Structure 1
């Protein structure tokens, strides 16, 4: 007899998908919990738990915390910085409560803190600063890093294999845009990718919806940059690689990044490339001469995440944005990653930083468990 007792993963029953909005707007939708206070919100729909991750996708907590905070500030203020800490792994089978605290309301700047809680404990916390639009005056200093001269992805032709492979999927689509200094030192490499929200972000959502969507995607394999610049594959043991190669039957099944894997955005040609790279890595893993230099990630967890929003009204999240990631430092079991994001028109719209635990699997067990 089937068990009809379903776990409640949201505080209230989720409403039907609103097809007048982009998929990412539905994903990040919040519901006020007025019984708990005027500035308390909860996730309207279930949150995504990436395969192999300790908890929910961190970008969801970042974006929904931003969305909750923006509901408490006037429309003529826009977020310019957001500093986040991942405290505990979020459970996708339990509702999240977002508690907004109105720290300060000034004439030019507003400060908010948001705690995301489950079981009464904080799993994520962030402090956000908002500035009044135009408060800097008519005379300002202006400069920005220029967008790399890379052509935008070409539109897919309806009915083609590529178009079919991109149909459906998660709230974002992405395309790789190459690696700068691929053969150089890890600290010199830069990973590039184009990304945009699927569908059309609604006019009703306003610029706030675009900002939330941007915040969501900033956590996409961000700390993974530290391993990527060292050319360490996600699956580096022979057993893991053999299992993965056997699973590569459908090109949409896998990608070499957790976010694009779960969003089913792998292109057919990328699957072939992934197969070649994995087969090469499998050969290296089985080569006894390489065993002494063999490196494998044992633990990778984000600790903190900061976003500086430079031009919050100068972009659309449903148009192609160029992301460039690099890692200037790694050591002591941690790594630092930097990220720059440009709009379709070449405007630098955000700069992000993230530090995380990046530990390799050790040849010998630690001397102490502490």
Structure 2
């Protein structure tokens, strides 16, 4: 690992905090300005990604902005753009701009910079607690009627087995099924259970839970676009191993993510094999099925609407449901809803990204 991965020396893991709190910890850079922060510890570069895990930039930008806002205000919306791939071998500087401070709403913008250039930018809006008045319009999408991990012996056993398999990632994730599995891509719903590992400290407050949630929202998100078409992200174990070998800055947080990727790759390969067999059968019957394989998948933007910022804990199981209402022109859109274990709709997220397939013919010359 290079000496300049972080701007200051890594202070080591704080055992009083949850792993995700350690991952997302920021250090003020007072020599540059009062509202400038940097990552305290190295950031993760996921297998196959162009740069750092996008959830880290999202969550640390949120954390930086929250440091400039009174504690009785909570974020209600966050609109982000991924500008350039973040380099895991360099520190990131988060510059917060105090755009507006009102009685009910506060606005902040944050730019994450490397080499003096913005790699990520976001605008956030905060609202004061209980500022909506006594009379309110209220409704919310109900949580699907599905047992959360720990509610049944089978899920508890599965959780124990997964924990025993090792890994030190900052959050846990389990598959929770697919709704409308055999339907059209736009009708499918991909479900997962997620939670931050360990116990988020009381000192972190609800801000730590919001940052943890923001970190988790980028996981598996844009991949929804290919998954609803039953197209795996990696076409073979060899391809996955190739990108693993190319990792610039693997950390001790990679183990579980790699193990999970390999496990789910096997499951996806089973689905892909079944699809190819069905395609071969269709071909034998005179129907030609086109082979599709992901060539490029990159997130462009990411939005989070926080509905109930004080009504959940990120270190307790949450249910996420993802869908893709549209894909075309080499891009795809994904929507995500997140419920707490108590059935509260915590957040709704959207993400658009580049999703391009490998082409049968090489690109034509521009000449």
TM-score (norm 2): 0.88
In the alignment, is the contact (CA less than 8 A) between 2:149 and 2:159 conserved in 1?
A: no
Q: 1:8 Cα shift? A: 1.4
Question: What residue number does 2:230 align with?
Answer: 231
Gaps in structure 2 of 5+ consecutive residues: 243-252
Question: What residue number does 2:164 align with?
Answer: 164
1:266 to 260, 265, 287: 260
CA distance in 1: counterparts of 2:207 and 2:156, whole angstroms: 29
CA distance in 2: counterparts of 1:46 and 1:298, whole angstroms: 28
Question: What residue number does 2:86 align with?
Answer: 90
CA distance in 2: counterparts of 1:168 and 1:193, whole angstroms: 19
CA distance in 2: counterparts of 1:71 and 1:159, whole angstroms: 35
**Mapping 1:1-370, distance limit 5 Å:** 6-154=2-150, 156=156, 161-165=161-165, 167-236=166-235, 240-241=236-237, 243=238, 263-264=257-258, 266=260, 273=267, 276-277=270-271, 280=274, 289=283, 293-369=290-366
Aligned CA distance change for structure 1 residues 294 and 343 (closer, same or farther; 3 Å): same
CA distance in 1: counterparts of 2:362 and 2:157, whole angstroms: 54
Q: 1:191 Cα shift? A: 0.2
Q: 1:277 Cα shift? A: 3.7
Kindly provide the CA deviation profile for residues 43-74 of structure 1, in whole angstroms up to 9, marking residues without a partner as x: 00000000111000000000000000000000
Aligned CA distance change for structure 1 residues 65 and 285 (closer, same or farther; 3 Å): farther
CA distance in 2: counterparts of 1:159 and 1:129, whole angstroms: 37
In the alignment, is the contact (CA less than 8 A) between 2:167 and 2:256 conserved in 1?
A: no
The root-mean-square deviation of aligned C-alpha atoms, in Å, is 2.9
In the alignment, is the contact (CA less than 8 A) between 2:77 and 2:306 conserved in 1?
A: yes
In the alignment, is the contact (CA less than 8 A) between 1:171 and 1:263 conserved in 2?
A: no
Aligned CA distance change for structure 1 residues 150 and 298 (closer, same or farther; 3 Å): same
Q: 1:7 Cα shift? A: 3.1
CA distance in 2: counterparts of 1:323 and 1:265, whole angstroms: 21
Aligned CA distance change for structure 1 residues 348 and 260 (closer, same or farther; 3 Å): farther
CA distance in 2: counterparts of 1:298 and 1:266, whole angstroms: 21
Aligned CA distance change for structure 1 residues 245 and 124 (closer, same or farther; 3 Å): closer
In the alignment, is the contact (CA less than 8 A) between 1:172 and 1:263 conserved in 2?
A: no
In the alignment, is the contact (CA less than 8 A) between 2:186 and 2:325 conserved in 1?
A: yes
Q: 1:111 Cα shift? A: 0.2
Q: 1:357 Cα shift? A: 0.6
CA distance in 1: counterparts of 2:343 and 2:311, whole angstroms: 10
Would you say how many aligned residue pairs link Structure 1 and Structure 2? 350
Gaps in structure 1 of 5+ consecutive residues: 248-258
In the alignment, is the contact (CA less than 8 A) between 2:232 and 2:268 conserved in 1?
A: no
